[in-house]
Amino acid sequence: MKTSVFFTLFLILLSIFSKAQMDDKFYQPKKEMKPLEFKNIENVSLPVIGDTITAVVLKPESKSIKKTILFFHGTSGNISTYQYITKPLVEDGFQVVMVDVRGYGKSTGKPTHLNVAEDGQKMLDYLLTRQDVKNTKIYIYGASLGAQISTHLAKDNQSKISGLILDGGMSSFTDIAIKFKPEMKEVIERYVVSPYSVKEDIKALKGLPKLFLYSKSDSTVPFEHGQVIYNNAPEPKQFLEFSGEHIQAMVVDKDRVVKAIEQL
């Protein structure tokens, strides 16, 4: 009887704490959008199974485009929440595509780890059919949670892209769950499995230029996550440390970040 009760309690506890890894705990989409602060905006909508994903193509004022950056944002908000990161890039001459995966902004549906990865591939496949994109070098930029899909996408499309930028990304879904529930570390490690992770996918990116942006002052994603990813990454790679909060590199050290991306 005692064994049965213990096992039942264990399953309940496991269910409760495993929710730290469940999709709906990671994705916090918002539909309400702030005005976009760009002059040249093209809206893109693509059908996916049962839903629609959206993006904006942001073109610089100069006709000569340096590179195209495919940008995936973090867990909350939508593309309008993160335009402070992409605006300096557009102003510097980059063409930027900001993506709202399922559930975010004007995109429909509910995000999951698996369909978010599918959405990223769908958007990249579409962009590669456009003359204004495929005639440029393409770089994938993942901010915070967006680092997961960005690295996974880079791994599956190495020959089609020219570089990867990770800004405050966690090393894996499992690792960040442990950060918020350290007392359950052993249980989470055993039972919570990441469907894909930056720290593993990054190992496959040999020869692809990579830039890592991390801060020791980050209270959301531990600096150590960035170190683990960087150490797992093959050359060529660059680690840019800044002083500031989570994904604030473009705010506190804009010139150095933009220059690093130019040189990537």
pLDDT value at position 186?
86
This prediction's pTM: 0.91
Q: What mean pLDDT is predicted for residues 101-112? A: 97
pLDDT value at position 194?
85
Is residue 230 predicted with pLDDT exceeding 60? Answer: yes
Two structure tokens written together for 248: 């604030």
Two structure tokens written together for 68: 């195209």
Query: Mean pLDDT over all residues of the chain?
Result: 91
CA–CA separation, 213 and 229 (whole Å)? 11
CA distances from 34 to 37, 78, 83, 151 (A): 9, 9, 10, 28
CA–CA separation, 252 and 220 (whole Å)? 17
Which of 66, 127, 60 lies closest to 87, judged by CA? 60
Is residue 3 predicted with pLDDT exceeding 80? Answer: no
* Tokens 């990671």 sit on residue: 26
CATH architecture assignment, domain 2-263? 3-Layer(aba) Sandwich (3.40)
Decide which of 143 and 9 is more confident.
143
Q: Where are the domains of the chain?
A: 2-263
